[in-house]
Each structure stands twice: as structure tokens, then as C-alpha cells.
Amino acid sequence: MTESQLEKLTKAKLGELILESGAHKFRDEGVCAMEAVAWLAGESHSDTPSCTCLTITRFVQSINDQATEEARQELKSVLHLVIGTQTEDIQRLRKRAYLATDFAVRVAAPWALDVAGLMEKAATLRALPPVADATMAGNAQEAAGATAWAAVGAAEGAARAAETARNDFWKKAMPECVALIRSMCEA
């Protein structure tokens, strides 16, 4: 089956399905994004289908569970790409892990810091070089760790505006998350 045929099948099968947060014991209790992938792939009900790369699975699960209900539905546009990404190729797995790490440190964390009013800290993370190897990943982790403590200190003030900020965050973040899932599937 070609990718466009699978995409059409995905759209037809997903129809009015509402993706929900969390895992579900049975399909009739609801489905998260990865449970929908298992269904589309013809696998038994699971949030970790065997046809998918575990790095991509964990990223999609994280986005699925943290996103607002409205933003979560955008994941449906890339679920067909996740099918068949399972690999034993260490280089591909590393590249996907570096893509996810880079996104977390240089994109998602700065957005959260912006919401907390910590623009300088956000700029520091955005200025880091792209994560492309283990050394860069370690440097990014160190920089993000140092910045996290500043974010904790600002959390109380940000909590008052949390729901508005969360909605704004996901409107901005979900297109980037969808683009990253596409990149990870192609890597």
C-alpha cells in the first residue's frame, strides 16, 4: 500500500474518532494516538504497537497526553506515517532520539520559559547548536537542567495564567510537533 493510499485509509477510518489522553484498557473506553496507530495497523489494542519505533512512540505518547483536546486531534494527520517505523538500525534510532532531544531543549523548553516570563533563559536554549550527537545531547541536557531551576522559581506566577498559557502553547506547539513526527518517521 502506498503512503497516499494509507493516508486516505487513515482519514476514512479515523473519521470522527476523538483522540483521548492516556492509555485505555479496551478500545471501547477510548483511544490515544498510539492506540489508534495499532488499530490502523491491524494490531491488537495497545499504546505501544510493534510496528512503530519506540522513540517515535514515546514522543507521540508524550505529546498526546500533554496536549489540549483540540490540539491532540492534529496528531491524526501523521498517524499513518508512524506505522512501519520500527527498526533495529542503531543510527536511525539515534538520529530520531537526537531530533526529539533537540526539540525538547531548543523548542519546547524555550516556549515554556517564555510563558513563565523568562525570555533570557529561553533565548539561551534557543541559541544552542542543534543536537546531532552524544556530546551535543549532553551539553543540551546540562544547559536545560540549569535553566529548569529558574523555571521552577517562576512556576507559581505562571500557574495563575496556566490554562490560557496552555491553550496558547499548544496552538503554537502542535504544528511543530506534527512536523517533528514527520521528520522522525523519515529519519
Q: Indicate the pLDDT class of residue 1, thresholds 50, 70 and 90.
A: very low
- Angstrom distances, CA of residue 108 to CA of 101, 144, 176: 10, 11, 9
pLDDT digits (tens, 9 = 90+) for 2-60: 555 555 556 667 777 899 999 999 888 889 999 999 999 999 999 999 999 999 999 99
Closest of 179, 105, 112 to residue 138, by C-alpha: 105
Q: Indicate the pLDDT class of residue 90, thresholds 50, 70 and 90.
A: very high
CA distance 178 to 135: 27
136 vs 163, residue with greater confidence: 136
pLDDT value at 95 more than 70: yes
Question: What is the average per-residue pLDDT within 103-118?
Answer: 84
Question: What is the average per-residue pLDDT within 127-150?
Answer: 82
Predicted TM-score of the model (pTM): 0.81
Cα dihedral sign, 62-65-68-74:
positive
Percent of the chain with pLDDT over 90: 48
Q: Indicate the pLDDT class of residue 187, thresholds 50, 70 and 90.
A: confident
pLDDT value at 61 more than 70: yes
Work out the number of other CB atoms within 10 angstroms of the CB of residue 15. Answer: 8
**b vs e for 133-168, b when ≥16 Cβ sit within 10 Å of the residue's Cβ?**
eeebbeebeebbeebeeebeebeeebeeeeeebeee
Kindly tell me the burial class for residue 59, based on how many C-beta atoms sit within 10 Å of its own C-beta (0-12, 13-18, 19 or more).
buried
Closest of 99, 54, 100, 81 to residue 185, by C-alpha: 81
Q: In the structure grid, which three cell numbers stand for residue 17, read together?
A: 474518532
Question: What is the average per-residue pLDDT within 90-102?
Answer: 92
Give the pLDDT of residue 128.
93
Percent of the chain with pLDDT over 70: 84
Question: What is the average per-residue pLDDT within 134-145?
Answer: 83
Instruction: Name residue 31's beta-bridge partners.
Output: 19
- Angstrom distances, CA of residue 74 to CA of 44, 65, 80, 122: 23, 13, 13, 26
Stated length of the chain:
187
pLDDT value at 136 more than 50: yes
Question: What is the average per-residue pLDDT within 96-120?
Answer: 87
Average pLDDT, the chain: 84
pLDDT value at 146 more than 80: no
